[in-house]
Amino acid sequence: MRPSPIYLPVWDDGKEGTSAPYQPRSKPRASSLIAFSFISIIIGSFLYYQHSILVASYIPRIPFMSAHSQHSAAGWHARSPLHPSGASFVPTREALVSGCLYSTPVDPSGLAAALFKPDVAVDGQGRVLQLSQADFAALEALGRASVADDIPSPGGFRNQWRIKHPRTSRPISWLRTADRDSIKDVSVYGWDKTNLLLERRVGELDRLPDVLHSTFGVFLEGREGLEGGGEVNSRVVEAVAAVVEAD
């Protein structure tokens, strides 16, 4: 015996229901599914491409890249020997490439490191060191990248970025870099190895840009040895700091 057809009510704007045989929905054709999948892939790829462009536009570009700048400057302080002509070294503004001063409530005129042409670095103890060609080029590239136009400017005194800390009175690191006939400034209050969170946003940024974090970390290597009570050549430190700080 054939089963009886199933009848379901069909309503039309509140009118009385009429009965009609139930018709199962037809399955979508394979060609329709393929076309839908193809269109979805195209749209998804387009949105991903646009997102990639947007993200890339917020990543600061580092100019002044050369073959030497691919070399990491990290560890330069431990690698560099005393300069053979260190005893006769005289810092000058003409030879200055970059200098990083380090200010604390106890020592407001401290030095982290300063870079002078052609191969000299002076550390926080006032030692005159001889840099390798690769280390010199890498430090020079970092200094210039940190004051490049690609980096947002926080404005204010010495173009200062402020790291958020639970306590105040943190050290201030102040980098000055020669740029043609002028000196460009950027400073960081409370630089920290792991904490990059800012007290207040700078444009779209709520963290210290990586290039600044790396640059200050490398220049602050010049203070290695001071915490252990290392001897300081005050005469050299003061002479170098005066050249770096001069306008």
Name the residue among 185, 145, 163, 177 with its Cα closest to residue 60: 145
d(Cα 227, Cα 48) in Å, to the nearest integer?
A: 49
Name the residue among 82, 162, 88, 194 with its Cα closest to residue 128: 82
The residues, ordered by sequence, that sit 6+ positions from 23 with a Cβ below 8 Å of its Cβ are none
Instruction: Please give the chain's pLDDT, 247 residues, in tens.
Output: 455 554 444 444 444 444 445 455 555 555 555 655 656 666 655 554 444 433 333 334 444 344 344 689 999 999 999 999 999 999 999 999 999 999 999 889 899 999 999 999 999 999 999 999 999 999 999 999 999 998 999 988 999 999 999 998 999 999 999 988 889 999 999 999 999 999 999 999 999 999 999 999 999 999 998 877 789 999 999 999 999 999 8
Q: 179 forms bridges with which residues in the sheet? A: 182
Q: Give whole-number Cα distances, 210 to 63, 146, 151, 206, 228, in Å.
A: 14, 10, 10, 12, 29
